[in-house]
Copies of this chain bind each other. A is one copy, B any other.
Amino acid sequence: MKRIAIDMDEVIADANFRFAEWYTRDHGIEFTHEQLNSKRFSDLLQDDHKYLIKEYVYHDDFFKDLPVMPGCQEVIKDLYDKYEIFITTAAMEFPNSLLPKLDWLGKHFPYISWTNIVFCGDKSIINADYLIDDNVKHFKRFIGQGVLFTASHNHDVVWDVRVNTWDDVRKLLL
């Protein structure tokens, strides 16, 4: 059975939503869907607000109750019948994310066992056939095929296998 490793933020969990939500709360500024999808969130902010990115992402509540990315629950459920599924997230950078991420997975993907959840940093440590991730840096030394999941920050990145939506993942792997 082939194995798929799947990233969390911007792939199955919408962390960008939280940035936008908190920025609106703190500064009353709302971004359109098009703005949020076209640029890295930090690039939408005026220079003297860019420090907020770090302040937000290290906050204990940042990773709690993030929205699920559209379509991923249905597609991962179907992939689960044909592949070994592992969730592989570079959570170690944000110790505040460890328990919220585990809770989130238990809530939205209860059938994925704790044995198949990986909190790591450098994803070259992952032994899988595919890695679905929004960050191309993780593909450089990855043993399998990297599948770039389109996110606001990677539109200009060149990579041979790219998916824009979970429907694209279905077409590619099922």
Beta-carbon contact of B102 and A114 below 8 Å: no
Interface 9-residue window, one of A21-29, A86-94, A158-166: A86-94
Please tell me if A75 contacts chain B, counting CB pairs below 8 Å: no
CB distance from A149 to the nearest CB of B (A): 19
B91, B116, B127: the one contacting A126 at CB < 8 Å is: B127
Q: Does A45 lie at the interface of the complex (its beta carbon under 8 Å from any beta carbon of B)? A: no
Chain A at the B interface: mostly helix, strand, loop or mixed?
mixed
Number of copies: 2
Is the CB of A113 closer than 8 A to any CB of chain B? yes
Q: A98-B99, A127-B126, A127-B143 are in contact. Are A119 and B118 (CB under 8 A)?
A: yes
Q: What is the CA–CA distance of A114 and B86 in the complex, to the nearest angstrom? A: 20
A157 CB-CB contact with B under 8 Å: no
Residues of chain B within 8 A of A114, CB atoms compared: 92-93, 121
A10 CA to B76 CA, complexed, in Å = 36
Instruction: Tell me, in angstroms, the Cα distance from A88 to B120 when the chains sit together.
Output: 9
